[in-house]
Chains A and B, each alone.
Chain A
Amino acid sequence: MDYNWDWGVFFKSTGIGQEIYLDWFVSGLGWTIAVALIGWLIALFLGSVLGVLRTVPNRWLSGLATAYVELFRNVPLLVQLFIWYFLIPDLLPEPIEMWFKQDLNPATSAYLSVVVCLGLFTAARVCEQVRTGIQALPKGQAAAAYALGFKLPQIYSQILLPQAFRIIIPPLTSEFLNIFKNSSVASLIGLMELLAQTKQTAEFTANLFEAFTLATIIYFTLNMSLMLLMRWVEKKVAVPGLISVGGK
């Protein structure tokens, strides 16, 4: 293969101002993190609420949460993204639509769409983990809390959720990693996150392999750090004598 490897490419000028190609990667990583972290906050909050609703003794509320999960899990992520980006703004009241399409800069409107999209999509998956965690607890735990006079919201906040979350840290970790990987769909609506910057570098320099190798290394390092972070959280909240279902 007569490919000319050139690892120095990242330090070459892009021809736009003072920028070198490495700056593109840094900026792309910044967007990737901004999308994934805010999306994750939405997913964690909404997913926990939905997960609780799926287990409450009320058919309407649990039915509502179930419908949410079915809807958001069964429509492909890309379709959801296009709906949020191209369709939903048209359905909003005129002033909001105009604001979204004209006043916002294109990066911001793409960012908002992808954060909402990933947040709501991942919420459905978090919901299922939270529900599984709650249902894995012995029935007697809720009964004991009721017997002591706790009300339902207290039973969830004091007794069920603290245990359920400890159990589901491993599967939640993989959802957390997934949202970082999934954030690359943002490149399809023009947000210059890590993957988009990688493609752009490849096209500008013709150093395709170097660009994608660097992107791979960045994604890998990011994933490893997140995994270590979650391990640390798991250790931090571990309780003596309580066996975690996820294991080591």
Chain B
Amino acid sequence: MISIKNVSKWYGEFQVLTDCTTEVTKGEVVVVCGPSGSGKSTLIKCVNALEPFQKGDIVVDGTSIADPKTDLPKLRSRVGMVFQHFELFPHLSITENLTIAQMKVLGRSKEEATDKGLKLLDRVGLKAHAHKYPGQLSGGQQQRVAIARALAMDPIVMLFDEPTSALDPEMVNEVLDVMVQLAQEGMTMMCVTHEMGFARKVANRVIFMDRGQIVEDCHKEEFFGNVDARSDRAKQFLAKILQH
């Protein structure tokens, strides 16, 4: 589904990604973790071409991102993305947030888009808030709407960039629950997160990044079960976050 091949990226002189290579197959849930500044967000943004990269290629469902002929907006419309700070559109109601891209990007009718949007809103447990505006919802509720908004586009894969790290602790679970459910339904997912409970529960694979490199890329059982075989940097990182 997603194939990342030898991707390198620089910001001027500074190399953010160094020769990153990995695969995400259909239905797989891959968790990406690593210290701050290691390039996790950058890597995931490369997957839907929100960030350009200078070397290598990423192929999403048969479409190459490096190919200059690729229709990037079309590709992005098929890849759902959830951001750390939700990024709902504050000037639009929840219903409008859920329908605007369906109508303007996919060309769906208003009825069809609203129908679909409200079904998904119900699924994330927020049907009663359809007429409200993002500023009137809590962080956890906003993030659930953001997930519904991405799902409304019928994505072939969902990308998450630290979806719970801007939330108050008591709201983390309501968002993780939605993500777990999604994973169990077979959605292909690439999640940057430090929620190791989530990783243990639903991830197939865990990728550990450090200084722009993919240092570990292995199955969940291997990653958590055989800690001794992990690199020193991964061990230090795990020791730190598992303390909590």
Q: Which residues of A contact B (CB under 8 A)?
A: 138, 140-141, 143-151, 154, 158-159, 162-163, 166, 239-243
Bound-complex Cα distance A166 to B133 (A): 15
Tell me whether B79 is interfacial, beta carbon within 8 Å. Answer: yes
Which residues of A sit under 8 angstroms from B87, Cβ to Cβ? 138, 140-141, 143-144
Q: How far is the CB of B125 from chain A (nearest CB, A)?
A: 20
Select which of A140, A150, A159, A240 is within 8 A of B135 by beta carbon: A240
Which residues of B sit under 8 angstroms from A147, Cβ to Cβ? 48, 50, 76, 79-81, 83, 150
Q: How far is the CB of A142 from chain B (nearest CB, A)?
A: 9
Q: How far is the CB of A145 from chain B (nearest CB, A)?
A: 8
Bound-complex Cα distance A167 to B101 (A): 23
The 3 closest A-B pairs by CB, nearest first: A241-B135, A149-B77, A144-B87
Bound-complex Cα distance A150 to B97 (A): 13
Please report which residues of chain B, range 57-108, place their CB below 8 angstroms from some CB of chain A when the two chains form the complex. 73-74, 76-81, 83, 85, 87-91, 100-101, 104-106
Q: Mark B99-137, 1 if CB is under 8 A from A, else 0.
A: 011001110000000000000000000000000111110
Q: How far is the CB of B220 from chain A (nearest CB, A)?
A: 27
Select which of A138, A143, A158, A239 is within 8 A of B133 by beta carbon: A239
Which residues of B sit under 8 angstroms from A243, Cβ to Cβ? 135
| Of listed B50, B78, B104, residue having the most chain A CB within 10 A | B104
| Of listed A147, A148, A159, A240, residue having the most chain B CB within 10 A | A148
Q: How far is the CB of A238 from chain B (nearest CB, A)?
A: 10
Jot down 18 A-B pairs with beta carbons below 8 A, ordered by A: A138-B87, A140-B83, A144-B88, A145-B89, A146-B73, A146-B76, A147-B79, A147-B80, A147-B150, A148-B153, A149-B78, A149-B101, A149-B106, A150-B101, A158-B100, A158-B104, A239-B135, A240-B136
Known A-B contacts A143-B83, A143-B87, A163-B91; the reply to A148 vs B133 at CB < 8 A is no
Q: Which residues of B contact A (CB under 8 A)?
A: 45, 48, 50, 73-74, 76-81, 83, 85, 87-91, 100-101, 104-106, 132-136, 149-150, 153
Bound-complex Cα distance A159 to B100 (A): 10
Are A148 and B101 in contact (CB-based, < 8 A)? yes
Select which of B85, B91, B132, B153 is within 8 A of A166 by beta carbon: B91
Are B133 and A151 in contact (CB-based, < 8 A)? no
Which residues of A sit under 8 angstroms from B81, Cβ to Cβ? 144, 147
Are A242 and B90 in contact (CB-based, < 8 A)? yes
Which residues of A sit under 8 angstroms from B76, Cβ to Cβ? 146-149
Bound-complex Cα distance A151 to B85 (A): 22
If A149-B106, A242-B90 are given as contacts, then 19 extra A-B residue pairs at C-beta distance below 8 Å, sorted by A number, are A140-B87, A143-B45, A143-B50, A144-B88, A146-B73, A147-B83, A147-B150, A148-B77, A148-B101, A148-B105, A149-B73, A149-B74, A159-B89, A163-B90, A239-B90, A240-B132, A241-B90, A241-B134, A242-B91
Which residues of B sit under 8 angstroms from A146, Cβ to Cβ? 50, 73, 76
Closest to B45 in A: A143
Which residues of A sit under 8 angstroms from B78, Cβ to Cβ? 149
Which residues of A sit under 8 angstroms from B88, Cβ to Cβ? 144
Bound-complex Cα distance A239 to B74 (A): 31
Bound-complex Cα distance A169 to B234 (A): 51
Closest to A157 in B: B104
Which residues of A sit under 8 angstroms from B134, Cβ to Cβ? 241
Q: How far is the CB of A154 from chain B (nearest CB, A)?
A: 6
Which residues of A sit under 8 angstroms from B149, Cβ to Cβ? 148
